[in-house]
């Protein structure tokens, strides 16, 4: 490897303030608008040409973004202007690796100041190496993005399949509303939701016992809820040990279990992608008719708005077992559900496999980030 030179961020880049902009959240232009924590809308005129790097300036989460195309940055973020000859994508990875967005000035509103960034030391690779590093890391990120877009399509197909089989089939006026037996297809019946699922509770091992924490068993809480079309959870922020499971009310959930958050932030939905435990603010849901995990997931997802409306609590909104029992669903014959599972399973498994691949690629990318 050629020799990297020592420098400071202030010698290599200038952080330029974004500008105030209205209407970006409803505009239909072709220029992406970025804020402190990522893309937030569209506009018609760019503030900077691409490729470029955006660094969050204010807020609890200050992300780092890369844009190939011209873009706009609002006043909660910076855009990066190199002072020397730098590859912009390498610069993006270098900024992420050095965690410039986590530099905090200690003010009541967390902020990253230019002065705090500029004095930080880092090493600059020769331009040829920058481009080589950016090409490798960029190819990994491109594949991760391709998987994300593929999962969006797969999710839309799976949702459409569920709708055509179970929504349009029995209630033209909308899923989950009051039905009569005459509106249901032959062999279907209306029952409380709790008659169709096994409800599983969670728990938290004592935080004061270090032997219960840091093991190899994933432990789900609301912060681990999947984003967008991910659907499955395949990793969690915290992990527990076998002793933690044995000495608390939690249990290990099998793959395909639906998790719904039931206290505080209610109604977040996730599918268990690898065996994991969960905390007591969630319920695990398993179909009583057998291994009908995906049908249970889509039914639960369709009921979320009703469950949220019926949530109650003196301090936090809460979904209780009674809340779940108070919602009626149309129960199709087991053979229909099994046929649906056969149709939808390849789509859902592809989503899960794509997530695993993206997780592996992200770990490889992070291991190769500029030092």
- In this structure, what CATH number is given to the domain that contains residue 259? 3.90.220.20
State what percent of residues in the chain have pLDDT above 70.
93
Same domain for 204 and 100, yes or no, is: no
Among all chains, which residue has been given the structure tokens 């206290």? 263
pLDDT tens digit string along 127-143?
Answer: 999 999 999 999 999 99
In this prediction, residues 30-54 reach a mean pLDDT of 95
DSSP state, residue 74: -
Strand 189-192 vs strand 258-261: parallel, antiparallel, or unpaired?
unpaired
Same domain for 194 and 246, yes or no, is: yes
In this prediction, residues 16-43 reach a mean pLDDT of 91
Residue range of the domain that includes 211: 155-333
**Which of 182-186, 255-259, 283-287, 317-321 has the lowest average pLDDT?**
182-186
Among all chains, which residue has been given the structure tokens 């995906």? 294
Q: Strands, DSSP E only, in 44-195?
A: 52-56, 64-67, 71-73, 77-82, 121-124, 189-192
DSSP state, residue 211: G
Retrieve residue 95's tokens.
Answer: 């900024």
First and final CA of the chain: distance in angstroms? 13
Top-confidence range, 177-181, 233-237, 286-290: 233-237
DSSP state, residue 209: -
Judge contact between 298 and 159, C-beta under 8 A.
Answer: yes
Residue 339 belongs to some domain of the structure: no
Answer positive or negative: Cα dihedral of 153, 303, 285, 201: positive
Residue 118 belongs to some domain of the structure: yes
Same domain for 105 and 251, yes or no, is: no
Say how far apart CA 332 and CA 341 lie, in whole Å: 13
pLDDT score, position 340? 94
Among all chains, which residue has been given the structure tokens 């912060």? 223
Say how far apart CA 309 and CA 306 lie, in whole Å: 5
Residue 366 belongs to some domain of the structure: no
In this prediction, residues 86-91 reach a mean pLDDT of 96
State what percent of residues in the chain have pLDDT above 90.
75
pLDDT tens digit string along 167-213?
Answer: 876 544 344 444 455 567 888 889 999 999 999 999 999 999 999 99
For residue 52, pLDDT beyond 80: yes
**Closest C-alpha among 79, 49, 76, 71 to residue 60:** 76
In this prediction, residues 97-115 reach a mean pLDDT of 88
Same domain for 229 and 116, yes or no, is: no
Same domain for 222 and 114, yes or no, is: no
Same domain for 36 and 159, yes or no, is: no
Side-chain half-sphere of 317: how many Cα atoms within 13 Å? Answer: 12
Residue 216: band (very low, low, confident or very high) from pLDDT cuts 50, 70, 90? very high
pLDDT score, position 175? 45
Residue 351 belongs to some domain of the structure: no
CA 157-162-165 angle, to 5 degrees, is: 120
| DSSP reduced 3-state for 3 | coil
pLDDT score, position 249? 97
**Closest C-alpha among 156, 155, 171 to residue 331:** 171
pLDDT score, position 133? 93
In this prediction, residues 56-80 reach a mean pLDDT of 94
In this prediction, residues 209-222 reach a mean pLDDT of 97
Same domain for 112 and 163, yes or no, is: no
Say how far apart CA 62 and CA 55 lie, in whole Å: 7
Same domain for 120 and 201, yes or no, is: no
Residue 137 belongs to some domain of the structure: no
Instruction: Give the helix/strand (H/E) hosting 276.
Output: strand 276-278
Retrieve residue 35's tokens.
Answer: 């804020």
356: left (phi over 0), alpha (psi -120 to 50) or beta: alpha
Stronger pLDDT, 66 or 61, i.e. the higher one = 66
pLDDT score, position 174? 40
In this prediction, residues 281-306 reach a mean pLDDT of 89
DSSP state, residue 58: B
49 exposure class (CB count in 10 Å sphere: 0-12, 13-18, 19+): exposed
pLDDT score, position 34? 97
pLDDT score, position 265? 87
Judge contact between 277 and 250, C-beta under 8 A.
Answer: yes
Residue 355 belongs to some domain of the structure: no
Same domain for 170 and 119, yes or no, is: no
pLDDT score, position 87? 97
Average pLDDT across the chain, whole number: 91
Say how far apart CA 44 and CA 364 lie, in whole Å: 37
Same domain for 53 and 159, yes or no, is: no
Give whole-number Cα distances, 236 to 36, 97, 224, in Å: 24, 21, 6
Total domain count, the chain: 2
For residue 271, pLDDT beyond 80: yes
Residue 327 belongs to some domain of the structure: yes
Same domain for 223 and 325, yes or no, is: yes
Give strand pairing partners of 41.
33
In this prediction, residues 6-26 reach a mean pLDDT of 94
pLDDT score, position 14? 98
Residue 371 belongs to some domain of the structure: no
pLDDT tens digit string along 89-104?
Answer: 999 999 999 999 899 8
pLDDT score, position 277? 98
pLDDT score, position 371? 61
Same domain for 287 and 327, yes or no, is: yes
pLDDT tens digit string along 318-343?
Answer: 899 999 999 999 889 999 999 999 99
pLDDT score, position 315? 59
């Amino acid at each position: 490897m050629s020799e990297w030179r020592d420098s400071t961020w202030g010698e290599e880049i200038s952080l330029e303030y974004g500008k105030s902009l209205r209407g970006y959240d409803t505009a239909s232009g072709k220029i992406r608008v970025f804020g402190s924590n990522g893309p937030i809308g569209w506009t018609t005129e760019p503030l900077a040409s691409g490729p470029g790097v955006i660094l969050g300036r204010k807020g609890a989460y200050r992300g780092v973004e890369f844009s190939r195309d011209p873009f706009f940055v609002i006043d909660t973020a910076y855009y990066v202007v190199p002072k020397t000859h730098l590859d912009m994508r390498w610069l993006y990875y270098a900024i992420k690796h050095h965690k410039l967005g986590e530099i905090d000035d200690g003010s009541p509103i967390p902020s990253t100041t230019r002065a705090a960034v500029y004095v930080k030391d880092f090493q600059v690779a020769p331009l040829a190496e920058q481009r080589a590093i950016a090409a490798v890391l960029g190819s990994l990120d491109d594949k991760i993005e391709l998987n994300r877009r593929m999962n969006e399509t797969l999710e839309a197909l799976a949702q459409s399949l569920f709708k055509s089989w179970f929504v349009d089939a029995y209630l033209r006026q909308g899923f989950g509303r009051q039905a009569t037996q005459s509106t249901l297809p032959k062999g279907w019946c209306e029952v409380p939701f709790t008659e169709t699922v096994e409800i599983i509770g969670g728990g938290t091992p004592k935080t004061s016992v270090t032997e219960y924490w840091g093991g190899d068993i994933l432990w789900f809480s609301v912060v681990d809820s999947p984003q967008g079309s991910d659907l499955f959870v395949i990793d969690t922020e915290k992990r527990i040990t076998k002793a933690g499971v044995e000495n608390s009310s939690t249990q290990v959930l099998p793959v395909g279990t639906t998790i719904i958050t039931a206290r505080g932030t209610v109604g977040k939905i996730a599918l268990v992608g690898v065996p994991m435990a969960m905390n007591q603010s969630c319920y695990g849901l398993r179909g009583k008719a057998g291994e009908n995990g995906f049908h249970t997931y889509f039914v639960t997802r369709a009921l979320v708005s009703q469950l949220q409306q019926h949530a109650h609590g003196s301090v936090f909104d809460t979904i209780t077992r009674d809340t779940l029992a108070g919602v009626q669903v149309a129960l199709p014959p087991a053979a229909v559900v099994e046929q649906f599972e056969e149709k939808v399973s390849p789509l859902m498994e592809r989503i899960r496999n794509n997530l695993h691949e993206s997780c592996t690629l992200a770990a490889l990318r992070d291991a190769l980030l500029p030092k």
